[in-house]
Structure 1
């Protein structure tokens, strides 16, 4: 695996993890009724997901150009990490909306 691909894969893992952490912090803030912090943390999660998508787009672009890469467990893990973070952030937004309506 070349260094550029490894950096992109690590970007998926790092930014996906950052997104999930921010979304979890957003949920905790909403649970405590601090919706301003919750909204800010969700924005941070979305920014991290955007960064992860940039890493993913680089890998997809290379693949589309015929530069096939070896798929390793690390590659699969990075994609799984990103997908989980996206789903968690989406769910966090919905739960925060419920907290807002209850509060």
Structure 2
């Protein structure tokens, strides 16, 4: 197998998994906005799993490079790293925003309960 081809495959897999992680995180946020808590949690778990797969690929590539420039840095590699970092940030921010949605939901429920008394 052509070593460059294997690298290209790994980079594309990193992009695919990172993209899935970001997409799942955003879907989780939409579910939370609609108070679909179990679905939001399931999607967050899927986002985390996809991010872990992408991160493993990144870690493997870093190990293969050994800080010596053995792996060529090209536009697609930079694109892959960008996807991963965006996915990781999205996952963290979505987690916090979902917590805020839960707090808002609890306050609204408490307010509605107080209004019925």
Name the TM tier (shorter chain). over 0.9
Aligned residues: 103
CA RMSD of aligned residues (A): 1.4
Q: Map of 1:26-45 to 2, 5 A cutoff? A: 26-45=28-47
Which residue, 16, 40, 58 being the options, matches 1:14?
16
Question: Greater CA deviation, 6-15 or 83-92?
Answer: 6-15
Q: TM-score, normalised by structure 1?
A: 0.94
Q: TM-score, normalised by structure 2?
A: 0.83
Which segments of 5 or more consecutive residues in structure 2 lack a partner in the other structure?
106-117
Which segments of 5 or more consecutive residues in structure 1 lack a partner in the other structure?
none
1:69 CA drift (Å): 1.4
Highest relative contact order (Cα 8 Å, sep 6+), 1 or 2?
1
For the residues of structure 1 that align with 2:59 and 2:7, how far apart are their CA atoms? 11
Q: Which runs of 4+ in 1 moved over 3 A?
A: none
